[in-house]
Amino acid sequence: MKKHNFSAGPCILPQEVFKEASQAVLDFNNSGLSILEISHRSKDFVDVMEEARSLALELLGLEGKGYKALFLQGGASTQFLMTAYNLLQTKAGYLNTGAWSDKALKEAKFFGEIVEVASSKDSNFNFIPKGFDIPNDLDYLHLTSNNTIYGTQLKEFPSANAPLVCDMSSDIFSRQLDFSKFSIIYAGAQKNMGPAGATLVIIKEDILGKIERQIPSILDYQVHISKGSMFNTPPVYSVYVSMLTMRWLKKLGGIAAIEELNEKKSKLIYSEIDLNPLFQGFATKEDRSNMNATFTLVNEDLKETFDTMWKEAEINGINGHRSIGGYRASMYNAMTLESVATLVDVMGDLERKA
C-alpha cells in the first residue's frame, strides 16, 4: 500500500510520473539503454532538456518575454551564492522570513553590503513582515516565497525599484502569480518538480552582465545560458523526472488547475486545526502556507497516542522540523485531497477519543 506522504522534501510525486520514470530506468525511449546511463549529449536527452526548459517557461507564462530557463546543480543553497555573484555590485536587500532566507543573506554578505529590509526572526519566523521600507538604491531585492519549516507564505509581493529575486523552492508551480515581476526565480526540484539533484533557475537575460567582478565559469549564469544548461554534465534523471512532472501539470490544466486543488487541501486541514481544540497552528493565520501546514498539540500528553494513530493510518512524514517541533503536513502539488482528508480524519478521531 502506498503511504500518504506528507514529507517536506524529498517529497511526493505523481504516481503516473513514477511509472513512466521507472520504465525509463530500464529502457529509455526503446533505446536499449537506461535513462541513468545515456549520454547527456545524446539527442534523446538534449530533447528532454529542451522540453523541460520550454515547459517551465510555458507554465509560468514567460515564453517570449526575455527569460531563459536553466537546470543547474547544487540546490537552492548554491543559488544563494550565484545570485549575489552575478548581480550584487554594491548593495542588496533581503526580506528575512525563515531559515533559508537567513542563509541566503549570509552568503550574499561576501559580495557587498546587505540590507535586511525586515525580519520575523525574533518571533521564530511565525509571520511575514509587512509595511517595511525598501531602499531605492538596491542592486536587487531577495525574497523567499514559502517557508517550509515554519509554514508561512508570501501572499503579496512587495514592489521595489530593483530587480526581484525569489527563492520559490517549496511553492513553484503551485499558484498563479505574475511571474514577469521577477528577474530571477530559483527552485530546488525536490518539492514540486522531481527528485533532488536539479535546480530550476528562471532568469530575465537583460539583468546580467552589469557587474565588474570576474565570475568563475561554473557560477556564471551567462555561461550556463550559452551552453543550454550543458556547461557540465547535468543531473540527467532529475531533469527527466522534472520534465515528466511538468507534463503532468500541463495535462491537468496548468497552474490554475493545481492552485484550485491546493486551496481545497489547505482549507481542509486548516479548518481542522482551528476547530479541533486539541491542536493549534504555528503560523499567523493570514500568512499560512498552502504547501506546509505547521501545528502542535495543545496537550503533549497526547503525543504518543496521536503518533500511533497517524502511523496506523499509513501516514508518513508529518513530524515537525526540530527547530519548532510539533507537526508539519506538506501538501505539494501531487498530494491528493484524499490523503489530506485521511490526516484530518485521524485528527478528528483523536478529539473523539480524548
Active-site residues, by number, are 100, 167, 191
Contact 116, 141 (CB under 8 A): no
- DSSP conformation class of 142: E
DSSP state letter for 321: P
**Residue in 83, 92, 116 with CA at minimum distance from that of residue 183:** 83
Q: How many CA atoms lie within 13 A of 199 on its CB side?
A: 22
And the C-alpha cell for 1? 500500500
d(CA 316, CA 64): 41
202 membership: H or E segment, kind and range: strand 199-204
Q: Amino acid identity of 159?
A: S
| Planar angle of CA 161, 167, 53, nearest 5 degrees | 105
* Residues facing residue 1 across a β-bridge: none
Helices 236-252 and 15-26 pack at an angle, to 10 degrees, of 140
Reference 145, options 85, 100, 195, 84; nearest CA is 100
As given in the structure block, the three cell numbers for residue 223 are 555561461
Q: Which residues of 212-231 are buried (b: 16+ CB within 10 A; e: fewer)?
A: eeebeeebbbeebbeeebeb
Q: Is residue 136 packed enough to be buried (19+ CB in 10 Å), middle (13-18) or exposed (0-12)?
A: exposed
